[in-house]
Structure 1
Amino acid sequence: MRGRNAVGPRPVGPGGGDTVGVLAVDSGGSGLRVVVADARGGALARRGSSEPVRTGARGIDPGHLMEQLVPMVRVLLAESGVTELRAAAVGAAGLASLGDALRAELPGALGREFGVPVVALAADAVTAYAGALGARPGAVVAAGTGLIAVGTDLDRWHRADGWGHLLGDCGGGAWIGRAGLEAAVRAHDGRPRGSAALLTCAEEQFGPVAGLPGKLYPRPDRPAVLASFAPRVAACAGHDPVATGILRAAARHMVESAAAVCPTGGEPRVAFTGGLFEMGEPLLVPVAEELAIQLPHARRVTAAGDPLAGALRIVADLAAGTLTLPGDAAMLSVMTG
């Protein structure tokens, strides 16, 4: 790993040619998104997969990531006309706590397969931050299947949550979906705090509730399956108090995480990014209310881009030798292939 400003490759000058490019990867709970871009980060071709990278005893599985990535990158290189990849940036969900094998093996694998000389490995929260705010102090909550908050004063990174669906990711899609399904099975049992509306939605989506454990527990993609129910919770929130309460609790958890990482001085920016916010007002309204209570000194801004845009920004800066986001062994490291 290199230091904060020693980012390795020489800048790509005017003579670099149209065939020189960079690679950006966003690996999340719902699959992979991959872009080959010119050396300044302008996207030339993109591909995606809906299969999440496996996590096992060694953490994130670098072999499974490469198994998916290699054929996609080959197609993208052919489509884009790029023949030399100057750098790569990979944003991966779970990297901070489950990324040891990925850090040990992925840069070398990308070097062998595609001749990539330098690779930035980033937690998906860091790519979300770079896409949303760029190199400015503040905090970003990235919420999709999971949830993590990351903040920086541009000297060091701070993170909160991102512990996965069994220990945390509080307020994320899997958390909302699980809470909605719990309310459904409570209604099925006749226990308090159940929701008949969510029970109906659960049976429409998954079939009889009695079969629900068998459809969830054996699944390796269980977080994504749980998160698939979150939109049904949002759809019920307008007329069902239990669903409304779930989204209010989710908003409270989100802003608690933002407050834990947000710089305390000045007027830091706070942004929310990720597919979960496509649920709209049922979630956005309680988030705004919680921000006014917990972070009155912060300025909420619209995210400029998503985590894939953040990976593109990081890799373009890496190729140009201008990457200034703080390095961190767990959150953002730059390594040679």
Structure 2
Amino acid sequence: MTSIAIDGGQSALRLRVLPAGRVGRGPGYVHGPTSIDHLLAAIGTAAAAAGVAGPVEVVALGLTGFPPVRPVADGLAARVAGVLDAGEVRMTQDMVTAHAGALADGYGVVVAAGTGLVSLAVDRDGSWHKVDGHGYLFGDAGSAFAIGRAGLVAVQRARDGRGPATKLADVTLDPVTLYRSTTLVDDVARFAPEVLRCAAEGDPVAGDLVVRAAQDIAETIGAAVATLAGQDAVPVACVGGLFAGAGEQLLSPVRAALTPRAQLVKAAGTSLDGAERLATSPPGPYADLIVTHRRS
């Protein structure tokens, strides 16, 4: 019987058919009153691209924008079951699938950084703590959105003469035009690679922004590590598109700012791998973080 794993992020939704391994993609999360309808349409698009046909045994999905109200989450899980003709849906936050994919034994801290940023700490007794992931207005410190926004602020300051000159201001983009965009958060986050590029080329303004982002990420990691019992070293995996794109340019200053207990390790897998783990294995330490719907 077919199962499905889904990683629903802000920039894209990815779906993997199990055990065949076929992958389909759909558009990412959209903020607003139509976000659930948009998500269901994205799942349908990705399923069609992956050649999903016939009933599905289990669907496991980790979502940006996971509904915080339990009845809403239950309703969404039921609708996902309807879209995919699934007997069982296991739905959770994207930070959980990131953790499940990155740390094989389920212990430690994962920082998932893409458009947004969230950290999940899971202790050996199964207790868990979320740090940040508060969204682009009130959190996500060190995320691609945060870096992109800081870069665009630097552009405007330089053009106004209120701030230092920077190569960032050489872009043709007028940041003010982004106010009209229906994908504002994603558009701003897409400026982060330009900040990283200019920093790598020696631009001091961009370089300072990267260091500040690294310090914010290290602060989040430190807060997550502090929630775990004992004084032993804690494995910390940094996953997501931001780290994949920046590599050591970002990881090196993060590492330099970490508390002694935090030990960066290579992630065992991706968020999509984590969703596959939840689709094919018992929930383990993540049981309290999963909403399950079974069709009668």
TM-score w.r.t. length of structure 2? 0.90
Cα displacement (A) at 1:55? 2.5
1:131 pairs with 2:124: no
1:46 pairs with 2:27: no
Q: Where does residue 277 of structure 2 map in the other structure?
A: 313
Contact between 1:27 and 1:90, CA under 8 Å: does it hold in 2?
A: yes
Q: Where does residue 162 of structure 2 map in the other structure?
A: 191
Structure 2 counterpart SS, 1:111: helix
Cα displacement (A) at 1:336? 2.2
Distance 1:105 1:64 in 2: 15
Identity across aligned pairs (percent)? 34
Cα displacement (A) at 1:106? 2.5
Cα displacement (A) at 1:77? 4.2
1:34 pairs with 2:5: no
Q: Where does residue 2 of structure 2 map in the other structure?
A: 21
Cα displacement (A) at 1:163? 1.1
Residues paired across the two proteins, number: 289
Q: Where does residue 323 of structure 1 map in the other structure?
A: 283
1:288 pairs with 2:255: yes
Q: Kindly tell me: are residues 279 and 310 of structure 1, through their superposed partners in 2, closer, same or farther at Cα, counting changes over 3 Å?
A: same
Structure 2 counterpart SS, 1:327: helix
Cα displacement (A) at 1:83? 3.9
Contact between 1:62 and 1:101, CA under 8 Å: does it hold in 2?
A: no
Q: Where does residue 14 of structure 1 map in the other structure?
A: none
The aligned amino acid for 2:237 is A
Question: Which of 171, 177, 180 is the matching residue for 2:142?
Answer: 171
Structure 1 counterpart SS, 2:268: coil
Structure 2 counterpart SS, 1:326: helix
Per-residue CA deviations over 1:94-148 (Å, capped at 9, x if unaligned) read: 3264x65751322222333433122111111111111110333110100011111
Distance 1:66 1:115 in 2: 13
The aligned amino acid for 2:144 is G
Cα displacement (A) at 1:271? 0.6
Cα displacement (A) at 1:285? 1.4
Contact between 1:152 and 1:261, CA under 8 Å: does it hold in 2?
A: no
Equivalent residues in 2 for 1:1-337, closer than 5 Å: 20-38=1-19, 43-49=20-26, 51-57=27-33, 61-78=35-52, 83-95=54-66, 97=68, 103-154=73-124, 155-192=126-163, 194-200=164-170, 202-203=171-172, 206=173, 209=174, 212-214=175-177, 216-238=178-200, 239-262=202-225, 263-265=228-230, 266-277=232-243, 278-291=245-258, 294=259, 296-317=260-281, 322-328=282-288, 331-337=289-295
The aligned amino acid for 1:324 is G
Contact between 1:117 and 1:336, CA under 8 Å: does it hold in 2?
A: yes
TM-score w.r.t. length of structure 1? 0.80
Distance 2:267 2:54 in 1: 33
Cα displacement (A) at 1:280? 2.5
Cα displacement (A) at 1:156? 2.0
Cα displacement (A) at 1:305? 0.9
Per-residue CA deviations over 1:262-303 (Å, capped at 9, x if unaligned) read: 224233210100111121232121011012xx2x12322101
Contact between 2:145 and 2:185, CA under 8 Å: does it hold in 1?
A: yes
List gaps (5 residues or longer) in structure 2.
none
Q: Kindly tell me: are residues 159 and 301 of structure 1, through their superposed partners in 2, closer, same or farther at Cα, counting changes over 3 Å?
A: same
Distance 2:98 2:146 in 1: 20
The aligned amino acid for 1:66 is L
Cα displacement (A) at 1:248? 0.9
Distance 1:113 1:251 in 2: 40
Structure 2 counterpart SS, 1:131: helix
Distance 1:141 1:84 in 2: 34
Cα displacement (A) at 1:68? 2.2
Distance 2:253 2:247 in 1: 11
Distance 2:83 2:168 in 1: 48
Contact between 2:74 and 2:293, CA under 8 Å: does it hold in 1?
A: no
Contact between 1:135 and 1:325, CA under 8 Å: does it hold in 2?
A: no
Quick check: which has more Rg, 1 or 2?
A: 1
By relative contact order (CA 8 Å, sep 6+), the higher-ranking structure is 1
